Amino acid sequence: MTILLFLVLLLAYVSGMLLPLCFPGRPHIQNVIAHGSASVACGMGIVLGLVGLLASEPLVWFLPSSIPLLTFSLRLDALSAFFVLTISLVGLAVSVFASGYVREFYGRIPVSLLGFLYNGFLLSMLLVVMADNAFFFLIVWELMSLLSYFLVVSEHEKPDVRFAGLFYLIMTHVGTAFILVTFLMFYQETGSFAFEAFRSADQSLPEGLRTLVFWTALIGLGTKAGIVPLHVWLPYAHPAAPSHVSALMSGVMIKTAIYGLLRVYFDFLGGPFPWWWGFVVLLVGTVSALLGVMYALMEHDLKSLLAFHSVENIGIILMGIGTGMVFYAYDMPHLAALGIIAGLYHTINHAVFKALLFMGAGSLLYATHTRNMEEYGGLLRRMPWTGLFFLIGAVSISALPPTNGFVSEWLVFQGLFLSLELPSLFLKFMLPIAAALLALTGALALACFVKAFGISFLALPRSSHARKALEVPVPMRVGMGFLAGLCLVLGLGPAVVVPLLDRVSEPFAGISIAGRVFEMGGWTLAPVSGAFSSLSTPVLAIILAGLTGLGWGLAYVLGGKGKTRFYKTWGCGLNVTARMEYTATGFVQPIKRVFSTIYQPTVKLETEFLEESHYFAKRRHFEFSIEPIFLKYLYHPILDFFSTLADRSRVIQGGNLSLYLAYIFMTLVFLLMVMG
């Protein structure tokens, strides 16, 4: 039954890839077929994911191949099913959105090609999380990377897009190399590429090898996930792609790395691992979360801003998982499960709201043809639906109740606070610090989205682009609306979501906690006990709604007249223009000052005075930039080293044919003499 479902899904993707090619020169038909098939396939994927989550046994499909060591084996256990579900949910919304968004590209980029790559990309991600053979995994992983690369460089006529693509390609291959090494180490020990063999080998691996696997997996998969300091490609590549692809890359693709980490650490390595593994993951997560949000604040390109927020949220996910690993190492399965569930919950939440926000950014791009926030403004009146959905996404990512981001971050906090129960004094000390930094991250994220929403949607239009903006087509609104609804559903329904996630974490933590974390008949979430902490988002939502209603009511009762007066706001007799508004740069100025140690900002202010008097400025030129620390101190030295090396070795390349022949000749003679 499920195999049939899977085959239909496969068929839908393949037809989405190939059918549009049969209608050359008809972009509209290509668009409808490509994204229609993708939507159908994603619908199937949602069902498949749910079936996999609820199945008691992992579903295994197996297809041998004639290539040695390679089998097309797929396995759908709870972890895979969860990611299949996440990919398909987001994929469905993005596909609907894309059917409107790619109209932008008619006549510029072949839509059939875009559809081919898009469907292939979705399919490869699904196969990545379902692969049950290291060889097969690497093939689909590589496919995923390459297809996303081609999607990133869709607008390859722009030089910065080409640069972003190249940067991405290099970084992702460095990551793949590390993953390859990880699997080869397993292969060396087990003599097989099947994940089944890796799984059963966990305990027999030597301690040194296990540590090595821990690091290579963290670096390899971390490059894809975008952990600091391997995140540098992310703010280039994600904004360069077409917005619906950015939504997929930022929302879903980087999550395949989270899948990989869980698979390798809990499933393959399993068993008791040292506590410092969890601590390293937690540390990496905390640093990524904090630096991600801090750099996001300084961005005025909406899509780059969102890309940096992906770094932040990957950090939060890793904080959850890292906490889980620490508890697991100390044999506290109940809390370990809590950490994993928190991480997974945030995974799906981030997938949903980040895809939503990227689609919002795409809508703004569609309407205004610019990504620079300083040229937006006043868009809420012109694009009310987009504004509403973007606001919901912004509220979610800022972790405000009663949305989904709040629930998962709250769970991460619970895990960190429960470090009081750990036997180690060091961790008792460190985990609350991580919690404090997470709180700082949340606050900065809120500031960032106040900026993003306020500057973009409120006040007066700052440019003619924004003045002429129109609401986006219906499919785009439907796509965003679906995810906005999902944000609320996931926020209000932890009682449904947590038991499902519990099925994922149960085989890893070895214990099911679904029955223990709820009180009041499922309405309240209480990870330890109601006395320690509890959360009920539905009740919170009711209280919030009640307070809002109360406020309105009071205003109505006390404020007297229900009449609305239209009058200029706080104008003090001046004509208010867009140039008087708070700019995005101005908004973040205080934060930039406070954290100037990290930003190392360079400010340049040049003033041109009137010739007659130095009291009157003719023109002012203001420029400010922040130091890209990682590029400057980590990547550039490495690059410089290699380019120097390449320059040196160029000497042997004389350009003379005889010289090259002589090299071959010398080698031949030398080898003959040595061997002879």
Partner 1 sequence: MPTLPINIGSYLVNLCSALLLLTCFAIVAQRRLMACVDLFALQSVFLAVTATLVAYLTGIHHIYLAAVLTIAIKAIILPRILKKIVRQLNVQREVSMYVNIPTGLLTCGGLVILAFFITQPIVHLGFLLTQDSLAIALAIVLIGFFIMVSRLKAVTQVIGFLVIENGLFLAATAAAYGMPLIVELGIFFDVLVAGLIVGIYTHQIQEAFGSVDTSRMKALKE
Contacting residues toward partner 1, per CB under 8 A: 653-658, 661-662, 664-665, 668-669, 672-673, 675-676
Rank residues 22 and 671 by Cβ distance to partner 1 and give the closer one. 671
Q: Which is nearer to partner 1, 521 or 676 (CB)?
A: 676
> Is 74 strand, coil or helix?
strand
DSSP symbol at 202? G
To partner 1, the closest distance from the beta carbon of 649 in angstroms equals 14
Secondary structure (3-state) at 547: helix
Residue whose structure tokens are 């040595």: 674
* Nearest CB to partner 1, comparing residues 552 and 670: 670
Closest residue by Cα to residue 129 from 93, 183, 81? 81
Shortest Cβ 166–partner 1 spacing (Å) = 19
Cα Rg of the chain, angstroms = 27
Name the residue nearer to partner 1 (CB basis): 496 or 668. Answer: 668
Q: Three-state SS across 599-636?
A: HCCEEEEEEEECCCCCCCEEEEEEEEECCCHHHHHHHH
429 vs 665 by CB, closer to partner 1: 665
- In the complex, least distance from residue 643 CB atom to partner 1, rounded to whole angstroms: 14
Q: Which two tokens stand for residue 511?
A: 């214990």
Maximal CA-CA distance, the chain: 107
In angstroms, give the least distance from the CB of 656 to partner 1: 5
Measured CA to CA in angstroms, residue 189 lies from 184, 195, 202, 205 at distances of: 9, 13, 10, 7
CB of 645 to partner 1, least distance (A): 17
Q: Which helix (H) or strand (E) holds 354?
A: helix 333-368
- Which is closer to partner 1, CB of 620 or CB of 650? 650
* Beta carbon nearer to partner 1, 67 or 652: 652
**Among residues 622 and 660, whose Cβ is nearest to partner 1?**
660
Q: Considering the complex, what minimum distance in angstroms separates the CB of residue 665 from partner 1?
A: 5
Least distance (Å) from partner 1 to the CB of residue 664? 8
Rounded least distance, CB 581 to partner 1, Å: 51
Cis peptide bond upstream of 527, omega within 30: no
Residue given tokens 């400025």 in the structure block:
617
What is the rounded CA–CA span in Å between residue 513 and residue 439? 26
Three-class secondary structure of residue 228 per DSSP: coil
Taking the complex as a whole, how short is the minimal distance between the CB of residue 651 and partner 1, in angstroms?
12
Token reading at 529: 């006990």
| CA atoms 587, 593, 596, 600: torsion sign | positive
- φ, ψ at 577 (rounded to 5°): -120, 170
Kind of pairing between the strands at 518-519 and 602-609: unpaired
Residue 330: CB partners within 8 Å, gap ≥ 6?
275, 422, 423, 424
Q: How many CB atoms lie within 10 A of CB 485?
A: 15
Closer to partner 1 at the Cβ: 575 or 656?
Answer: 656
Closest approach of partner 1 to the CB of residue 169, in Å = 23
Give the residue among 527, 548, 546 at the shortest CA–CA distance from 538: 546
Which residues, other chains included, contact 586 with Cβ-Cβ below 8 Å and sequence gap of 6+? none
**Summary count for the chain: helices (H), strands (E):** 27, 6
Rounded least distance, CB 657 to partner 1, Å: 4
CB of 673 to partner 1, least distance (A): 7
Residues in Cβ contact with 281 at an 8 Å cutoff, skipping those fewer than 6 apart: 218, 261, 318, 321, 322, 325
Half-sphere exposure of 571 (CA within 13 A, CB side): 10
Nearer to partner 1, 539 or 645 (CB): 645
For partner 1, the closer CB: 464 or 667: 667
DSSP state of 582: P
Kindly tell me which of 572 and 657 has the beta carbon lying closer to partner 1.
Answer: 657
Residue 224: name the closest of 214, 237, 213, 211 by CA.
Answer: 237
Q: Whose Cβ is closer to partner 1: residue 542's or residue 666's?
A: 666
Nearer to partner 1, 272 or 654 (CB): 654
CB of 648 to partner 1, least distance (A): 16
Nearest distance, CB of residue 636 and partner 1, angstroms: 23
* Closest of 103, 140, 104, 102 to residue 13, by C-alpha: 140
Nearer to partner 1, 638 or 664 (CB): 664
Residue 40 parent element (H or E): helix 27-54
- Nearest approach in angstroms of CB 644 to partner 1 is 17
In 494-601, beta strands by DSSP E: 518-519, 524-525
